[in-house]
Amino acid sequence: MHTHTIFVISDGTGITAETFGTAIMAQFDTKPRLVRIPFVDSMDKVHQAIRQINHVASVESKKPIVFTTLVNQEYLELIESTCKGKVFDMFGTFVRPLEVELGQKSLHRVGRFADISESKEYLERMEAINYTLAHDDGQTNTDLTGADVILVGVSRSGKTPTSLYLAMQFGLKVANYPLIPEDFERKQLPPALVPYRQKLFGLTIDPMRLSSIRNERRPDSKYASLQNCRYEVAEAEAMMRRSGIEWLSSTTKSIEEIATTILQEVLPQHLGH
Could you list the residues known to form a binding site, using ranges: 153-160
Q: How far is CA 183 from CA 163, 178, 192, 235, in A?
A: 21, 10, 12, 9
How do the residues of the chain divide into helix, strand and coil, expressed in percent and rounded to 5? Answer: 55, 15, 30
Cα angle 55, 60, 65 (rounded to 5 degrees) comes to 75
Binding residues for ADP: 153-160
Q: Which residues of 91-112 are buried (b: 16+ CB within 10 A; e: fewer)?
A: bbeebeeeeeeeeeeeeeebbe
Closest-CA residue to 7 (of 17, 111, 16): 17
The continuous run of DSSP H or E covering 262 comes out as helix 255-266
Torsion of CA 22, 27, 33, 37, to 10 degrees: -30
